[in-house]
Amino acid sequence: MTTLFNYNATVVTPIAGGTNIAVPLTPAKTDIASVIVSVPNVVPRYVEINATIGIEGSPGAGSVLYRIRRGGTEIYYSRIGVETSFTTYELNALLAIDGNSPPGPQIYTVSIESVTPGLTAAVIGPVEISASSFG
């Protein structure tokens, strides 16, 4: 039977327009939010990370890259298309599973970067991240 051992969440802003973080062109990236969760010393163990990020783009098309790191180790990334000819605002939801997390307190951080030269985008909110450790 799976047991939930720990849960934590960070809400940077719960609303659209609550922040304005420019999205830099890769290889630069901007950290958006972090959360710390305690991981038990059991086998098996895993951590589920959920993030919701609202972005705004200027006219054009391209894509952004989200990365999730545990400490300094990248464990997940997702490239998401941005098509501002149809919609200026997007709400992106990420779900990652970390099956190799060491026991103890772990910090998970989500970052964003643009992979399309000339694409102008900004994180405007909502911005939230949560992590749950199971075993």
pTM, two decimal places: 0.94
Percent with pLDDT over 90 in the chain: 87
Amino acid at 62: G
Q: b/e map of 34-44 (b: 16 or more CB within 10 Å)? A: ebebebeeeee
d(CA 101, CA 21): 29
Residue 54 · residue 16 · CB < 8 Å = yes
87 vs 127 pLDDT, higher one:
127
**Tell me, what's the pLDDT at 59?**
78
CA separation (Å) from 117 to 23, 27, 56, 113? 11, 11, 16, 11
The residues spanned by each domain of the chain are: 4-134
pLDDT at 85 over 80: no
The letter for the amino acid at 32 is: I
Across residues 24-35, what is the average pLDDT?
Answer: 97
Answer whether residue 87 shows pLDDT above 80. no
Is residue 106 within 8 Å of residue 70, measured between CB atoms?
yes
Rounded average pLDDT over 42-69: 94
Residue 103: how many other CB atoms lie within 10 Å: 14
Predicted pLDDT at 124 = 97
| pLDDT of amino acid 128 | 98
Mean model confidence pLDDT for the chain: 95
**What class, spelled out in words, does domain 4-134 have in CATH?**
mainly beta
From the list 15, 26, 24, the residue with the least C-alpha distance to 122 is 24
What band does 1 get if pLDDT is binned at 50, 70 and 90? confident
The alpha carbons of the chain give a radius of gyration, in whole angstroms, of 16
